Copies of this chain bind each other. A is one copy, B any other.
Amino acid sequence: MNPSAPVVALAGGVGGAKLAVGLAEALPPGALTVIVNTADDLTLHGLHISPDLDTVMYNLAGLSDPAQGWGIKGDTTGALDLLGRYGGPTWFRLGDKDMATHIRRTQRLSEGARLTEATAELCGALGVRSRVLPMTDSPVATRVQTPEGELEFQDYFVARGTRPRVTGVRFQGAETAKATPEAAEAIDSAGTIVYCPSNPIVSLGPILAIGEIEERLRRPEIPRIGVSPIIGGSALRGPAADMMKSLGHEVSALGVAEILRDYIDGFVFDDEDAPLLPAFGERGIAARTAPSVMTDTPSKKRLAIEVLGFAEEIRNQAPAG
């Protein structure tokens, strides 16, 4: 792959982090920038928690708990146990090592660092060689409308286990959120853009809801590839399928591609869904299937190579000039 053509990947949590690992493996060191959803961020115990940033960071650092995909492998919960005894909430599981990340981030933010800067410091300390950027340093918060009322995202996602039916989603603060210089520069200089297999509504949606980011992502002169988090009509994890259905989207790779349609030149989905290929053709979306279940580093890298190869094909097909 060409190190002079950097890759920007947009990601949410676990699924996005897996492909980010694959891309980092497939690309030369430093060629990957991951722009990560922060609309799931929350404050608990007085600490600033950025679940998706941390999941991407821990995965890229090789520290992630392989079973659950988030958190740090082998972590203990002494602090959370005692915080619970003190009356603090324990529904959001925070390990002790993980707590250090939130403590340090909170400290640096209180000292005036931007989230982008704090994230760069944390990633640097953990030896992450790809660049991890929050989608914005501005506060943006996903609110989920349900029959039980409007919920904070983590209340819906973790505390209520994604059980409430989602009737709408909004991204509070997105309308005034700013692109950071770092994210703007990364997108402007990208040679390829990858939409990771993250929830298109609540992981990629918030990134696209920021006007200054969304405008920059409209770069038809470079290949932009989406990857489906939906396989065989369901999501490997998380509420993407139920959420797409209740919001009126087709629960399939095609449904995801339709949501991202204005931003992509090609779409990759699982071999299992190969029967959808003609429908992609009818709707004029360049598509390709591949094994997309990422269970280990080789399978993450293999999918990344498929995605990057598809991008190169699209780049080479484009009319010169």
Contacts and interface: CB of A to CB of B under 8 A. Distances in A.
Interface of A: 45-47, 72, 75-76, 78-83, 85-88, 95-97, 99-101, 103-104, 106-107, 110-111, 121-122, 125-126
Given A78-B97, A79-B103, A82-B100, 14 more contacts: A45-B103, A45-B104, A46-B103, A76-B96, A79-B96, A79-B97, A80-B100, A82-B97, A82-B101, A83-B104, A86-B101, A86-B104, A86-B121, A103-B103
A72 B126 CA distance: 28
Contacts of A82: 72, 97, 100-101
A43 to B, nearest CB: 9
Contacts of A122: 86
A106 to B, nearest CB: 6
Nearest to A118: B86
Secondary structure call for the A interface: helix
A86 B100 contact: yes
A132 to B, nearest CB: 15
Contacts of A76: 76, 78, 96
A120 to B, nearest CB: 12
Nearest to A95: B78
A96 B83 contact: no
A125 B45 contact: no
Nearest to A78: B96
Contacts of A111: 46
A85 B46 contact: no
A239 to B, nearest CB: 30
A125 B87 contact: yes
A85 B58 CA distance: 14
A258 B169 CA distance: 71
30 contacts: A45-B107, A46-B103, A46-B106, A46-B107, A46-B111, A47-B103, A75-B78, A76-B76, A76-B78, A76-B96, A78-B78, A78-B97, A79-B79, A79-B97, A79-B99, A79-B103, A81-B97, A82-B97, A83-B103, A86-B100, A86-B101, A86-B104, A86-B125, A87-B125, A88-B100, A88-B104, A88-B107, A96-B96, A96-B99, A99-B103
